[in-house]
């Protein structure tokens, strides 16, 4: 199969999948207060495999393993610390199995995140300690055979820099995903749930360019994603990606309020593609129907 880096030589945008955790919730998988959907590979493997299949059928070229909340520190919070490697391997295997069954040219991404164990800020680890867990997770995902790693919800400088370095240590292509919000003054800021909010431009200047092959604005509201992309375009030399979210979370459940229709999402996604975005997909609240609508519009 073509290397993911070679795919960027094609002018067509790369189609990423949409949400994993929130779609599992839609499909009836209960969300854990400790590790969100991180245990689904153990508790609901058939549903997880089916979700990946739905994204592939919708036209996704990259499907994301359910490992956003499966780092050692995450699953330990739920009492499964001794099974962390197993959970990551199985999560990746289910995505790989879906790809094989679909007989579709697609890549599998492993997800790493800065999520605090149990959604609780009191559980926040020091940057290097958290990054050590991500380093182990990256090694397991590489062992499982994923094609690339996606860092999700980077929102500061110190934690994010350590996380990027941890992901790069596995030797796989790394995409870094930043979450932002436009404040009352019109400044694009990071979402301040790891540390205090900082200017997205300042954060990117400090962190981007460490070896990532794509910088994305992700898990940001649609209205904030466009300004975030403009900011990233000023600062970054790497290709850009976009996968926004719709709705809000009341841990551990996602609230599907104000979710854009598939048609409205496709309209916005195409504008970003016209502006040069190279990878396009969805995050929390946006599912296979949104990806299908976007693919249909691109194909037409």
Say if residue 135's pLDDT is above 70: yes
pLDDT score, position 151? 98
Q: How confident is the model at residue 119 (pLDDT cuts 50, 70, 90)?
A: confident
pLDDT of 195 above 70: no
Confidence of residue 1 (pLDDT cuts 50, 70, 90): low
Query: Which of the four CATH numbers 3.20.20.330, 3.10.20.600, 3.10.310.30, 3.40.605.10 does domain 4-299 have?
Result: 3.20.20.330
| From 12-21, 91-100, 118-127, 204-213, the region with the lowest mean pLDDT | 118-127
Tell me the domain boundaries of the chain.
4-299
Q: Using 50, 70 and 90 to split pLDDT, how confident is the model at 193?
A: low
Band (pLDDT 50/70/90 cuts) for residue 194 is low
DSSP the chain: ---HHHHTTSSSPEEB---SHHHHHHTTPPPBTTTBTTTHHHH-HHHHHHHHHHHHHHT-SEEE-S-TT-SHHHHHHTT-GGGHHHHHHHHHHHHHHHHHHHT---EEEEEEE-PPGGG-GGGPPPHHHHHHHHHHHHHHHHHHT-SEEEEEEE-SSHHHHHHHHHHHTT-S-EEEEE-EEE-TTS-EEE-TTSSS--BHHHHHHHHTTSS-SEEEEEEEEHHHHHHHHHHHHHH--S-EEEEEE-SEEETTEEE--SPPPHHHHHHHHHHHHHTT--EE---TT--HHHHHHHHHHHH-
Cβ atoms of residues 170 and 209 within 8 Å: no
Predicted confidence band of residue 261 (pLDDT cuts 50, 70, 90): very high
Query: Which whole number is the average pLDDT over 24-44?
Result: 97
The average confidence (pLDDT) of the chain is 95
Residues 83-118 have pLDDT tens digits of 999 999 999 999 999 999 998 889 999 999 999 888
pTM for this prediction: 0.96
Q: Is the pLDDT of residue 12 over 70?
A: yes
């Amino acid at each position: 199969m073509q290397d993911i880096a070679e795919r960027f030589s094609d002018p067509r945008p790369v189609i990423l999948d949409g949400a994993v955790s929130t779609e599992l919730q839609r499909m009836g998988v209960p969300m854990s207060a400790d590790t969100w959907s991180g245990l689904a590979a153990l508790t609901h493997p058939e549903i997880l495999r089916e979700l990946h299949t739905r994204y592939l059928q919708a036209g996704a070229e990259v499907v994301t393993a359910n490992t956003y909340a499966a780092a050692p520190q995450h699953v330990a919070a739920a009492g499964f610390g001794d099974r962390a490697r197993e959970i990551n391997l199985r999560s990746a295997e289910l995505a790989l199995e879906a790809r094989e069954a679909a007989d579709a040219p697609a890549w599998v991404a492993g997800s790493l995140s800065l999520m605090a164990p149990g959604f609780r800020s009191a559980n926040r680890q020091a940057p290097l300690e958290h990054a050590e867990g991500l380093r182990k997770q990256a090694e397991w995902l590489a062992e499982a055979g994923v094609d690339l790693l996606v860092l999700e919800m980077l929102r500061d400088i110190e934690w994010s820099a350590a996380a990027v370095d941890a992901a790069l240590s596995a030797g796989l292509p790394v995409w870094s995903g930043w979450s932002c919000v436009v404040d009352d003054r019109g400044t694009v800021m990071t979402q301040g749930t790891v540390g205090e909010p900082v200017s997205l431009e300042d954060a990117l200047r400090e962190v981007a360019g460490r070896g990532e092959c794509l910088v994305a604005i992700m898990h940001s509201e649609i209205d904030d994603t466009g300004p975030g992309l403009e900011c990233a375009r000023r600062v970054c030399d790497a290709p850009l990606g976009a996968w926004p979210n719709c709705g809000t979370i009341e841990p551990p459940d996602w609230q599907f309020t104000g979710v854009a229709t598939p048609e409205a999402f496709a309209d916005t996604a195409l504008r970003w593609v016209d502006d040069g975005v190279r990878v396009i997909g969805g995050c929390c609240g946006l599912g296979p129907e949104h990806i299908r609508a976007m693919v249909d519009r691109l194909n037409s």
